[in-house]
């Protein structure tokens, strides 16, 4: 399991915001400057830069300066720690879902083997003089 909880916290914090996730989606297509990243949102460059700093702190974005332009690129490798953390709990949820499935199958089988009321009632009506 993942040992570095501070790093994992930073990754999940960065991914918790829909604006930052959208920025990562854009960066998955290729490097973008801060202006391009902020364009789809109603925000200033300063606000976009704050989001990018959160992504940088998590290690998900690398920023390089080319003259006066800040260019960001995606580094998806830190997400691996989050995936590993979730994978640890995947076993738990798989077991829970397997148990639920077994209960539902047993319930369906019990219902299928139970005699219907309509058949029993018909026998009772037919046996009366």
Q: Tokens 């800040």 correspond to what residue?
A: 70
- Could you tell me which of 108, 99, 92, 24 has the C-alpha nearest to residue 58? 24
Cα–Cα distances (Å) from 25 to 11, 37, 92, 126, 128, in that order, read 15, 10, 30, 71, 75
pLDDT classification of 31: cutoffs 50, 70, 90: very high
pLDDT at 126 over 80: no
Domain CATH number, residue 46:
1.10.10.10
Q: What is the pLDDT of residues 58-68, one digit of tens each?
A: 999 999 998 99
In a domain, 128, yes or no: no
Task: Evaluate whether residue 129 is within a structural domain.
Answer: no
Contact 9, 3 (CB under 8 A): no
**100 lies in some domain:** yes
Q: Which range of residues forms the domain containing residue 39?
A: 1-114
- Could you tell me if 79 and 11 are in contact, meaning their C-beta atoms sit under 8 angstroms apart? yes
Total structural domains within the chain = 1
- The whole-angstrom separation of Cα 8 and Cα 76 is 13
| pTM of the entire predicted model | 0.68
| pLDDT at position 125 over 80 | no
Rounded distance, CA 9 to CA 120, Å?
A: 62
Structural domain includes residue 124: no
User: Is residue 123 one of the residues assigned to a domain?
Assistant: no
Mean of per-residue pLDDT scores for the chain: 87
Residue 2: the pLDDT is 42
Residue 95 lies in a domain: yes
């Amino acid at each position: 399991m993942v040992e570095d909880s501070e790093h994992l916290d930073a990754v999940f914090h960065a991914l918790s915001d829909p604006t930052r996730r959208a920025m990562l989606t854009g960066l998955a297509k290729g490097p973008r400057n801060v202006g391009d990243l902020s364009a789809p949102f109603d925000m200033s460059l300063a606000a976009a830069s704050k989001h990018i700093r959160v992504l940088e702190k998590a290690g998900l974005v690398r920023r390089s300066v080319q003259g006066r332009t800040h260019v960001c690129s995606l580094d998806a490798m830190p997400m691996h720690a989050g995936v590993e953390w979730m994978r640890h709990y995947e076993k738990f949820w798989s077991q829970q879902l397997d148990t639920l499935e077994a209960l539902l199958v047993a319930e369906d089988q019990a219902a299928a083997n139970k005699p219907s009321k309509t058949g029993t009632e018909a026998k009772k009506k037919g046996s009366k003089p």
